[in-house]
Amino acid sequence: MPFSDFIDYLTLEKKYAANTVVAYKNDLECFLAFAEKEFSYTTIKDVNYAVIRSWIVSLVDAGISNRSVNRKVSSLRTYYKFLLKTKQIDINPLLKHRALKTSKKLQVPFSEKEVTQVLDNLEGANDFEGVRNKLMVELFYSTGMRRTELVHLKLKNISQSEKTLKVLGKRNKERIIPLLPSVCLTLSKYLEYREQLEHIVDPEYLFLSAKGVKIYETLVYRIINSYFSMASEKVKKSPHILRHSFATHLLNEGADLNAVKELLGHSSLAATQVYTHNSIATLKEVYKNSHPRNSN
């Protein structure tokens, strides 16, 4: 494999998630195929910026968004940094490259009313899948965890006595998240149904299908999308929007930004601040309605 050393570096040293590593590998193979076909290069090491620029133009012409192009170029940049670090090249051809301009995507969270409606609809769940799905929604909304984190949750990571769960986030970074009493009740009910499954293939994982197999990310997306389609007309109805709602609603209620950062598992405040636009809007409304000098 042409990039095996780099893949090992991302996996073992940088501890990137498997999906991220696959994305890097695909981006590099895509660029190498272009450089080989259009310019007869057999290795990326010898490529100059003119070739990279031609690749970028070809991606844009193919209708790929600027955001996706920037991500692909970022993979290439990381690879060149690796080559510099391992003294395989002397100059990074992307040193002076400037990312393509992108418009900021506004992630519109679910309203508290929409979340409440979904939870109310799930209140009467009385079978394995119904209770499991209710627990999914409650965990996403009460912990802000990522979809991949929920899929990989293991039974050993849950402490019912301490009402906490341990999440393995990006770069294998662990964090402890408290559980609400209501979530603990749903969890206990789900575990009872789980024990009644006829056959369990993946016993270490919390969330299973009715066949006892560990759930997968696409299924989680479909479940969340299905329930929120009945309560919301928003364009995006995904686990990530539920994570976004968790952060936004906490901030709206005055939660400390640093505390939300820790709950989300972000490495920096900058990543958490994207969730503050709605809370700032709420703050302005409170200010307008409450300040004594406001005569409106």
Among the listed residues 134, 147, 194, 243, the single catalytic one is: 243
Active site residue 170: yes
243 tagged catalytic: yes
CB 122 within 8 A of CB 227: yes
Region label for 168, one of left (φ > 0), alpha (ψ between -120 and 50) or beta (otherwise): beta
Q: Specify whether 277 is catalytic.
A: no
From 170, 175, 236, 277, active-site residue: 170
> Choosing from 80, 205, 227, 275, which is the catalytic residue?
275
Q: Are 115 and 124 in contact (CB under 8 A)?
A: no
Smallest Cα–Cα separation from 186: which of 202, 163, 204, 168? 163
Alpha-carbon Rg for the chain in angstroms? 23
Q: Which of 147, 244, 249, 266 is catalytic?
A: 266
Tokens 């995006």, residue located: 236
Q: How far apart are CA 6 and CA 25, in angstroms?
A: 9
* 67 belongs to the catalytic site: no
Q: From the candidates 146, 147, 152, 244, which is the catalytic residue?
A: 146
Could you tell me where the beta strands, DSSP code E, fall in the chain? 158-159, 164-168, 174-178
Catalytic residues: 146, 170, 240, 243, 266, 275
